[in-house]
Amino acid sequence: MASGQPAGGILLVKNRAICVSDLGADLRRETLISNADPLDFLSLLKPRVMSLVVFTALVGMVLAPGAIHPVIGLIAVFAIAVGAGASGALNMWYDADIDAVMGRTAKRPIPSGRVQPGEALSFGMILSVLSVMVLGLATNWVAGGLLAFTIFFYVVIYTMGLKRRTAQNIVIGGAAGALPPVVGWAAVTGGVAIEPMILFSIIFLWTPPHFWALAIVRKDDYARAGVPMLPNVASDRNTRLQILLYSLLLIPFGVAPFFMGFGGWLYGATALVGGVMMVWWSVGILRADDEDRLKKACWSLFGGSILYLFAVFAALLLEWAGGFAWALLREGLA
Amino acid sequence: MSAPQETEGLRLTDEEKARRARRNKAIGFGVAGLCLLFYVITVFKMGPAILSRPM
């Protein structure tokens, strides 16, 4: 039974069950014949999010004590990336109705009618199973299990459970995005330790200011879609204070790897400067006294936060690469 | 059994046929890639032990 209006060439069906024989010829055609190109399926994987997952998982892997064959390591990163992509596809399947009414997401493959919801569901499920299987077989089942949990958390807990119900959606749901370094670490060691949990905390605390900065700018979009993002349900001041609070918390967690000894001076300096910049941008949002300034400050924090996360993880990777090259050089000289 | 009538069912346009062919190729490459992936995992996980088995 159709419950939504046709939008962008696709009939949105709330319970996703269509009695095809009841549809007109045009609609039958749109329902039965796929219009998808292989590239549409690729965009279901949210490639930009995937790149961040790959990067943070890789850092988790290289920091882990122990050795992994480089080819197996590459396969593990690939499996983690595909798992993240699969959860993105399942998220797009479930959220097709709200994606259709939001400017930022209306052109995604399902709301634009290029990919059928059922195709996205099958695609996401198949890739989820395969990615977990490949990671488990290539490395170990702790890593495989953690990847399965990450996909479950993102799709079932965040997308189906939290997103439309609570303003804490991205705070709790942020755990899914924060898990890749833990999965990467487990792929090498077969377990979890305090170090990857610190990396987890950094991404976890980074998520609210990053997404709430975007949510302030896209407030109308979220209101139209009925998603209770914090700026839509709390006062402006409350949202801005919470953004500042999470940014402040990010500083001690950000520099923790330096004090715990698995981040060097380059990392320590990057995390400290980056953390201070996050607070600076958050204060900019708190102090913005008109709409234009607020939007500008939000975009600064949104873009700056991406730069922050990239910089701190890149610093860890650079330090590891430097140490690795130095060890090789010493071995060559000896 | 009689042959299906030409008027029955939906007929694909050339563009739809081309898209289906591209999707089929992508699935083919995907399956081939998966076979290769499992082959590589087997070789690198087992190493030389891959040859040590009772004959």
Query: Which site among B40, B46, B50 would you substitute to test the A interface, given the most A Cβ atoms closer than 10 Å to its Cβ?
Result: B40
Q: Per residue in A101-143, pLDDT tens? A: 998 899 999 999 899 999 999 999 999 999 999 999 999 999 9
Task: Enter the tokens of residue A277.
Answer: 């910049």
Which residues of chain B make contact with A29, given a CB cutoff of 8 A?
Answer: 10
The whole-number pLDDT of residue B55 equals 65
Counted domains in chain A: 3
Same domain, yes or no: A23 and A95: no
The answer, yes or no, to whether residue B23 has pLDDT greater than 80, is yes
Same domain, yes or no: A143 and A68: yes
What's the domain range around A46?
37-167+175-189
| Closest A-chain CA to B46 | A138
Same domain, yes or no: A63 and A139: yes
Same domain, yes or no: A29 and A91: no
pLDDT interval class at B11 (50, 70, 90):
confident
* Pairs across A and B, CB distance < 8 A: 39
Whether residue A33 lies within 8 A of chain B, CB to CB, comes out as yes
The whole-number pLDDT of residue A2 equals 39
Which residues of chain B make contact with A72, given a CB cutoff of 8 A?
Answer: 41, 44-45
Query: Which site among A23, A68, A137 would you substitute to test the B interface, given the most B Cβ atoms closer than 10 Å to its Cβ?
Result: A137
How far is A165 from chain B, CA to nearest CA, in Å?
A: 37
In this predicted structure, which of A55-59, A142-146, B41-45 has the lowest mean pLDDT? B41-45
Same domain, yes or no: A328 and A208: yes
How far is A26 from chain B, CA to nearest CA, in Å?
A: 10
**Percent of chain A surpassing pLDDT 90:** 84
Whether residue A31 lies within 8 A of chain B, CB to CB, comes out as no
CB atoms A69 and B44 under 8 Å: yes
CB atoms A37 and B22 under 8 Å: yes
Query: Which site among B14, B29, B44, B50 would you substitute to test the A interface, given the most A Cβ atoms closer than 10 Å to its Cβ?
Result: B44
Same domain, yes or no: A41 and A184: yes
The stretch A240-268 carries a mean pLDDT of 97
Selecting from A29, A69, A134 the residue whose C-beta is nearest the C-beta of B10 gives A29
Three-state DSSP state, A164: coil
The rounded distance, in Å, linking the Cα atoms of A149 and A153 is 6
CB atoms B41 and A41 under 8 Å: no
What is the average pLDDT score of chain A? 91
Same domain, yes or no: A230 and A293: yes
The whole-number pLDDT of residue A1 equals 34
Same domain, yes or no: A244 and A184: no
Which residues of chain B make contact with A41, given a CB cutoff of 8 A?
Answer: 26
A146 burial (CB, 10 Å; 0-12 / 13-18 / 19+) is buried
Nearest to A96 by CA among A105, A85, A86: A105
CB A8, CB A106: distance < 8 Å: yes
Q: Which of A189, A220, A247 is the last residue of a domain?
A: A189
Nearest to A300 by CA among A286, A313, A282: A282
Q: Per residue in A165-224, pLDDT tens? A: 999 999 999 999 999 999 999 999 999 999 999 999 999 999 999 999 999 999 999 999
- Please give the helix or strand (H or E) that residue A227 lies within, else none: none
Task: Enter the tokens of residue A104.
Answer: 């930022």
Same domain, yes or no: A198 and A314: yes
Which residues of chain B make contact with A75, given a CB cutoff of 8 A?
Answer: 37, 40-41
| Closest A-chain CA to B23 | A38
The stretch A139-168 carries a mean pLDDT of 97
DSSP class of residue B30? Answer: H
The whole-number pLDDT of residue B10 equals 77
The answer, yes or no, to whether residue A26 has pLDDT greater than 90, is no
Whether residue A26 lies within 8 A of chain B, CB to CB, comes out as no
The rounded distance, in Å, linking the Cα atoms of A309 and A210 is 10
Instruction: Write the CATH number for A289.
Output: 1.20.120
Nearest to A238 by CA among A218, A219, A256, A212: A212
Q: Which residue has the tokens 């004590």?
A: A65
Which residues of chain A make contact with B16, given a CB cutoff of 8 A?
Answer: 33, 35
Same domain, yes or no: A307 and A200: yes
Whether residue A41 lies within 8 A of chain B, CB to CB, comes out as yes
Q: Per residue in A45-82, pLDDT tens? A: 999 889 999 999 999 999 999 889 999 999 999 999 99
Residues of A numbered 67-106 whose beta carbons fall under 8 angstroms of chain B's beta carbons: which are they? 69, 71-72, 75
A83 burial (CB, 10 Å; 0-12 / 13-18 / 19+) is buried
Selecting from A33, A36, A37 the residue whose C-beta is nearest the C-beta of B10 gives A33
CB A99, CB A110: distance < 8 Å: yes
Instruction: Write the CATH number for A125.
Output: 1.10.357.140
Same domain, yes or no: A67 and A115: yes
B26 burial (CB, 10 Å; 0-12 / 13-18 / 19+) is middle
CB atoms B19 and A41 under 8 Å: no
Please give the radius of gyration of chain A, using alpha carbons only, rounded to the nearest integer. Answer: 22
Same domain, yes or no: A22 and A48: no
CB atoms A36 and B19 under 8 Å: yes
Helix extents (H) in chain A: 25-32, 38-44, 47-63, 70-94, 96-101, 117-138, 141-152, 169-178, 180-189, 194-217, 219-225, 230-233, 236-260, 265-287, 291-333
Whether residue A34 lies within 8 A of chain B, CB to CB, comes out as yes
